[in-house]
Structure 1
Amino acid sequence: MNIKDLDLNLLRLFDAVWRTRSVSLAAQQLGMSQPAASQGLARLRSVLGDALFERSGAGVRPTPRADRLAQAVQLALGTIEEALNVSQVFDPMRSERVMRVHLSDIGEARFLPDLVLALQRLAPGMRLEAMPLAHDKIGPALDNGQLDLAIGFLPEVGETLQQPLLSDRYVLLLRQGHPVAKRWAQLKNAGSPNPDEVHALLAELEFAAVRTHADTLRILELMHWQHRLRLTVSHFLSLPGIVRSSDLAVLMPHNFAKGFADAGALAILEPDLPLRDFTVSMHWSARFDKDPCLQWLRAHVSRLFSTTHTSSSTEVES
């Protein structure tokens, strides 16, 4: 076949279908109707002499030929986009871009309000979509453009570019009147408590945990507390209310635990735990490193987290 027989828009359609595994989702991303997307895919199949995609459940799956073609198409489209963007001046006030960001449930609650307010002021036409994904899906989603940014403690997202945003630590959150909280305060007031005494005290706790938060579950294992796990839930945000009305304790990042404790009736304990310290980072794909819109968004996210980190550090020191 000859390259002159190919329409660049058909390659964009192919890339979108390959990434989303759905003709309808690809059509939606490209701003076209599903019938038009189906017709374009039929033209591309005719030119290439291959089915490219086959029906699979609610979507489609690529043929071996399509999988071999996908990387070359993505590389070619990325090269063209980068060349076109070299002289492009990004104007956030005129942008209507849809930005898709991975955040955990507590990340959404803590950081999305500030980000949304900033975008309403600086980029009113831009749209933001929170897209929480399983850890093993984040790297591929960043690389194929399904996701623009991922923010969090994500040590297993594959080869991505990243920027540290803030440091945090895991603490224990429990109700203020909890017997362990009272005895913890007594030990602290008496001076430097004996580590064995502290461990024996904390071993009396019963715990709630988040199913998908592997690090807190790992801490429970390393402390030999896993047999004290009484409740497992899907999201962190359901836990403060449960902790407030029960004797369960939960391991939670300090940045979020402090907000819940400040609202009343909850206490924070800060024992010396394994894997206690961690870093929240922003991740993105090298394929889109030069995208002017993403460069602007990354810079603004960095500024927002810098402000948050400064205030958090002040709180800890005081």
Structure 2
Amino acid sequence: MASRGNALRGMDLNLLKAFDALMQERNVTRAAERLGVTQPSASAALARLRLLFGDELLVKSGREMRATPFAERIAERIHTMLLEVEDIVTSHEDFDPHQDEQTFRVMVTDYTALILMGPVARTLAAEAPHVRLELVTHGMSDHADRLHSGEVDLAVVPDRLSRHSGLPREELFVDEFALAGWRGNPRITDSMTIADFTATPYLSFSVGSEPSMVDSLLTELGHDTRANVLVASFVTGPLLLRGTGFVTFIQRRLADLLAESAELRVVSPPFEIPPLLETLTWHPRSTTDPGHRWLRKQIVAAAAAL
């Protein structure tokens, strides 16, 4: 029987990178584009991988390619291993924001993109011209899985989502919720009661599969949270209120920013809503990465300046 050392003799790490790309794309041509090689090179890599593992790995099914059970079983382990190897290789490197090229994928809502990441983007433009920032505004409820897989590098998420993930995190800023509606809506008053609210058309927000923080609280208080309008964008929602009788609950910082353009009247909620604490979270493998540390510092500084 071959020893583990013999099995690894002559192993080409690029083959495992090819396997990872093939599993991500399930398409030889797209995998070749991801790897920056020709399609025949990717096909040759697949043939070598099949020989190495003694398994077909990917088989044609109509116009698609499907992974074999064995390939599915090892895919996540190989993906994680490649991320760890990359971290080890780059862990000694310094990061020079003025010179280095790096891409960071940060998960945010459109609210935190506007309030927080705008200042961060301006800092990058001035101090890190070769750093690319990609803002991912979907999949918030799955942020921990996407950090584990390496799909995103950082996530700005509410404390209620990050506190039980077991991942490193840092508190960023606190906001409060306000009740908002079109300023021409006579129902919007400083003395609105919960009964007034429940009798008013309601616009709410849906971020992934999770109900909004306010809707969860309304459910706990025993009130109907069935919204007349449900939107996925915190920024779009307030703009839809103009000329309508709808009300909504939005973050105070966002309400202040959009008050004039959306013609909003903003009042205190008719019941107590806990403050919203936004946090920054990431995977432990990135904790000591110089570029990652630098970007985290910029985000924390932007939050402190709010």
TM-score (norm 1): 0.80
State the one-letter code of the partner of 1:202: F
Letter in 1 for 2:180: L
Letter of the 1:170 partner, please give it.
F
1:176 correspondence with 2:174: no
**How well do the aligned residues superpose, as a CA RMSD in angstroms?**
2.9
Distance in 1 (CA, whole Å) between partners of 2:61 and 2:299 is: 38
1:2-21 → structure 2 map (5 Å cutoff): 2-19=7-24
Other-structure match for 2:147 = 142
Choose from 110, 129, 133 the match for 2:115: 110
Residue 204 of structure 1: aligned partner: 199
CA, structure 1 residues 59+124, in 2 after alignment: closer, same or farther (shift >3 Å)? Answer: farther
Supply the distance in 1 between the matched residues of 2:73 and 2:289 (Cα, whole angstroms).
25
Residues 10-61 of structure 1, C-alpha deviation per residue, up to 9 Å, x if partnerless? 1122234445555555544443344433332222122111122345798655
Pair 220,72 (structure 1): closer, same or farther in 2 beyond 3 Å: closer
Aligned residues: 296
1:291 aligns with 2:289: yes
Kept in 2, the 8 Å contact 1:205–1:228? The answer is no
What residue in structure 2 maps to residue 259 of structure 1? 257
Q: Which amino acid aligns with 2:199?
A: E
- Structure 1, gaps ≥5 residues long: 188-196, 309-318
| Cα separation, partners in 2 of 1:95 and 1:257, compared to 1, 3 Å | same
Secondary structure at the counterpart of residue 181 of structure 1: coil
Q: Which moved more, 1:131-140 or 1:27-36?
A: 27-36
**Shift in Å, 1:93:** 2.0
Amino acid at match of 1:205: T
Q: What pairs up with 1:126-275 in 2 under 5 angstroms? A: 126-153=131-158, 155-156=160-161, 158-182=165-189, 184=190, 187=191, 198-212=193-207, 214=211, 215-226=213-224, 229-263=227-261, 265-271=263-269, 273=271, 275=273
| Cα gap change, 1:48 to 1:151, in 2 (>3 Å) | same
Residue type at the aligned position of 2:181: L
Per-residue CA deviations over 1:115-137 (Å, capped at 9, x if unaligned) read: 22211111111222222232343
Q: In 2, are the aligned partners of 1:5 and 1:47 still within 8 Å (CA)?
A: no
Report if the CA contact (8 A) 2:105-2:134 is conserved: yes
CA distance in 2, matches of 1:221, 1:84: 50
Give the 3 Å change call, closer, same or farther, for CA 89–256 of structure 1 in structure 2: same
For the Cα contact (< 8 Å) 1:168–1:254, is it kept in 2? yes
Deviation at 1:280, TM superposition (A): 0.8
Q: Name the CA distance, whole Å, in 1 between partners of 2:254 and 2:30.
A: 35
Supply the distance in 2 between the matched residues of 1:148 and 1:84 (Cα, whole angstroms): 17
Partner of 2:105: 100
State how far apart, in whole Å, the 2-side matches of 1:264 and 1:69 are. 51
Distance of 1:79 and 1:306 partners within structure 2: 32
Residue of structure 1 aligned with 2:69, choices 50, 54, 64: 64
Q: Which segment drifts farther, 260-269 or 41-50?
A: 260-269
- Aligned residues with identical type, % of pairs: 26
Q: 1:146, CA displacement in angstroms?
A: 1.5
Asked if 1:125 is matched to 2:130, the reply is yes
Structure in which a larger fraction of residues adopt helix = 1
